[in-house]
Each structure stands twice: as structure tokens, then as C-alpha cells.
């Protein structure tokens, strides 16, 4: 029994010591950089960067004044050219960013203001946005977005 206990303790110590230590501050800085570049990609109409850091199984949920919509990644990308391709069509301002970061998952909550020109008419909308990131094959990807309209 004593040997079993010692073996169990050694196994636990080996497992804990073998776990890779993750610097959460560095991970948050990396995620912040990815997110900032994502906003820049939207503003430039750069679909390739957007594709690079959004998971193929990403689902987006948008809540506007009078409707809610769930959009798949493929539908969202298909409409990217219409919504974001004209460079300068979108200006995004982000405030009150809050992160929760773990070794494999992260969540970011922020307030976003999107200024767009839709059919030459300027529109300004404020959103509360939550993004969930997942680390896959040592890379961070957005796996979920929920954006709610704020009056």
C-alpha cells in the first residue's frame, strides 16, 4: 500500500512537472495583437487575414434592434466582399476591452463602434461584442462571436 501511495505521488509530480508553463501575459498580448490586426483587416478589406485567424467552424451571432441572426463562417466570408471589400468603407473604434485568458481558451469583451457607408449613406452603430478564442495546433483562432446592438 505504501509503495502504491509513493508511486501515485511520483506520477502526480511527474505529470505536473511535465505540463508546459504558459505565460498568460504573453498570450494576452498575442491575442490583443491578433485582434487589433483583425480590426485593421476589416477596415482594409483584407479577407485573407480574416480567414487566417477565424476557425472554419466559427459561428457568429448578431443582435440588432429588431432581429437576431446566426451566420456560419462560410456565409460570412461569402458576403465579405459586399460588406468590407471597399477599403475605407468601415471604421472600427474599440473601447473597454476585457480579457480572460487560459492556456487553451480566451474570451474578450469589448464595446465597438462601427462607422460604415452603406449605399453611400453613413451609418454608425455601437455594439457589445464577445469573442471566444481557442488554441488549436498552437495557434489562436476565433471560434465564436456574439455582437449585440447598443443604442
Give the strand pairing for 90-101 and 68-72.
unpaired
Q: Is residue 77 part of a domain?
A: yes
Find the CATH number of the domain harbouring 128: 3.10.450.50
Domain for residue 84, yes or no? yes
- Output the pLDDT for position 115: 87
Q: Report CA Rg, the chain.
A: 20
Structural domain includes residue 8: no
The answer for residues whose C-beta is within 8 angstroms of residue 50's C-beta and 6 or more apart is 38, 41, 42, 77, 80
Q: Are 31 and 137 in contact (CB under 8 A)?
A: no
- Does a structural domain hold residue 3? no
- The verdict on residue 16 lying in a domain is no
Domains: count for the chain: 1
CB 118 within 8 A of CB 82: no
Is residue 66 included in any domain, yes or no? yes
Residue 58: CB atoms within 10 Å: 21
pLDDT of 119: 66
Classify residue 2: in a domain, yes or no: no
Strands (E), 3-138: 54-63, 68-72, 90-101, 105-118, 121-136
pLDDT tens per residue across span 61-102: 888 777 788 888 888 888 777 666 555 577 889 999 999 999
What span, in angstroms and rounded, lies between the C-alpha atoms of 133 and 140? 6
Domain extent for 98: 23-150
Residue 110 lies inside a defined structural domain of this protein: yes
Report the alpha-carbon distance of residue 50 to residue 56 in Å, rounded. 11
Q: What percent of the chain has pLDDT over 90?
A: 38
Amino acid at each position: 500500500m505504501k509503495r502504491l501511495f509513493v508511486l501515485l505521488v511520483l506520477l502526480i509530480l511527474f505529470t505536473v512537472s511535465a505540463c508546459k508553463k504558459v505565460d498568460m501575459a504573453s498570450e494576452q498580448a498575442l491575442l490583443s495583437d491578433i485582434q487589433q490586426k483583425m480590426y485593421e483587416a476589416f477596415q482594409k478589406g483584407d479577407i485573407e487575414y480574416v480567414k487566417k485567424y477565424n476557425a472554419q467552424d466559427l459561428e457568429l451571432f448578431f443582435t440588432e434592434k429588431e432581429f437576431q441572426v446566426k451566420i456560419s463562417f462560410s456565409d460570412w466570408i461569402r458576403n465579405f466582399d459586399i460588406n468590407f471589400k471597399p477599403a475605407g468603407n468601415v471604421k472600427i473604434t474599440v473601447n473597454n476591452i476585457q480579457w480572460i485568458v487560459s492556456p487553451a481558451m480566451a474570451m474578450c469583451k469589448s464595446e465597438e463602434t462601427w462607422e460604415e457607408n452603406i449605399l453611400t449613406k453613413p451609418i454608425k452603430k455601437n455594439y457589445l461584442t464577445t469573442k471566444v478564442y481557442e488554441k488549436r495546433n498552437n495557434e489562436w483562432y476565433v471560434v465564436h462571436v456574439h455582437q449585440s446592438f447598443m443604442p
